[in-house]
Chain A
Amino acid sequence: MITDKSGTCPIRSEQDVVLSRQLVRRIAQQHGLRLVDQTKLVTAVSELARNAVIYGKGGDMDWSVIDSGARTGVRLVFRDNGPGIPDIKQAMTDGWTSGSGLGLGLAGAKRLVDEFELQSAPGEGTRITIIKWN
């Protein structure tokens, strides 16, 4: 049982990607997200955490449980101090990749969550905030 309403977990290695997925799964389960929504959120976490490790050279994930009155949501912030994204529009395009992946990570993750915000600039790292409501 996770009793805290917020916390931070490191995303430095492949193993951390697995741990962050498991942590978010437990948080989402506890706060009443349906199975499909849990699966979508955890899949988005996997994409974004892997990006932080591979492209951001490691970072952190802040998690918090938020309340809008009627609904409860899980908010996650992925932060890294990597090289940043020079062209955000291009990075959000399906099929575009700067590495060897499929280029589905960012655009795909955005489709899987309810709210998605990306802040990044060259040399200033990347910060992605996502929210999934129950």
Chain B
Amino acid sequence: MDHIPILRMGDFLLVTIQVDMHDQLAMTLQDDLSTKISEISAKGVLIDISALDIVDSFIGRMIGMISGLSRIMDAQTVVVGMQPAVAITLVELGLTLSGVSTALDVERGMRLLRESVQSQ
């Protein structure tokens, strides 16, 4: 079965989505991430979606669920790199990703994660 790789960097997990995801792959990622967060007691999850040329309601829901689930497991999630056209489409679709932290790029996303861990 296909998996999206999850990289570990200290207390953080990094995911770069580089394929046009079908729904099962998105579900698998959600499961893999929750397992990994608990395995290494991750403090933060960074999801890079700069290579995604669409985010529909299914992927949007998955992002929201990952964010909610990692919060319950004491980890912060930051979604980075959303393309402008994707952001415009998401809002028009009716999905505002409320409660999900975002940053423009990986560097800013990592800074956000470090700051939120330090302030705890």
Count contacts on B: residues with CB < 8 A to the other chain: 23
Does A14 interact with chain B (Cβ within 8 Å)?
yes
Residues in chain B near residue A15, CB distance under 8 A: 22
Of B53, B57, B85, which one neighbours A47 at CB under 8 angstroms? B57
Asked if A17 contacts B61 (CB within 8 A), the reply is no
Asked if A101 contacts B57 (CB within 8 A), the reply is yes
Does B23 interact with chain A (Cβ within 8 Å)?
yes
Does A56 interact with chain B (Cβ within 8 Å)?
no
Count contacts on A: residues with CB < 8 A to the other chain: 27
Q: How far is the CA of A108 from the CA of B60 in the complex (A)?
A: 13
Q: A102-B95, A104-B93 are in contact. Are A43 and B23 (CB under 8 A)?
A: no
Asked if A111 contacts B94 (CB within 8 A), the reply is yes
Does A8 interact with chain B (Cβ within 8 Å)?
no
Does B89 interact with chain A (Cβ within 8 Å)?
yes
Complex interface residues of chain A between 101 and 115 (CB less than 8 A to chain B): 101-102, 104-105, 107-109, 111-112
Q: How far is the CA of A109 from the CA of B54 in the complex (A)?
A: 13
Stretch of A18-26, A64-72, A77-85 on the interface side: A18-26
Q: How far is the CA of A111 from the CA of B89 in the complex (A)?
A: 10
Interface residues of A (CB under 8 A from B): 14-15, 17-18, 21-22, 25, 35-36, 38-40, 42-43, 46-47, 50, 94, 101-102, 104-105, 107-109, 111-112
Interface residues of B (CB under 8 A from A): 20-24, 53-58, 60-61, 83-86, 88-89, 92-95
Q: List 12 A-B contacts (CB under 8 A).
A: A21-B20, A39-B88, A39-B89, A42-B53, A42-B54, A43-B89, A46-B54, A47-B56, A102-B60, A104-B93, A107-B94, A108-B57
